[in-house]
Amino acid sequence: RCRSRAFARDELFSDVLAFPPGAPLRRHPLMRDGGLISQDRASCAVAHAAALPRGCDVVDGCAAPGKKSTHLAAVLAEAEAEA
């Protein structure tokens, strides 16, 4: 949990940043340009809980707007890069 005014790396998911409530993220250039996406911790857990093997194909038939799918793709890409 992030209780200060600064952000912190999430204690469970190393690829997730935690920001304090009310942080003015919507105005940040990375948010506006798509470099960061915001979602709650439970949504971030999906990509890690799936524990998909390297090289697998994934079809998300319910993606709208696709934040969990985007995070899952990033997790899989990171696993490929580490291999």
Residue 5 has what pLDDT? 61
CA distances from 23 to 2, 18, 27, 30, 40 (A): 11, 10, 10, 14, 14
pTM: 0.67
Distance CA(70)–CA(38), nearest Å, equals 11
Which ranges of the chain have pLDDT less than 50? none
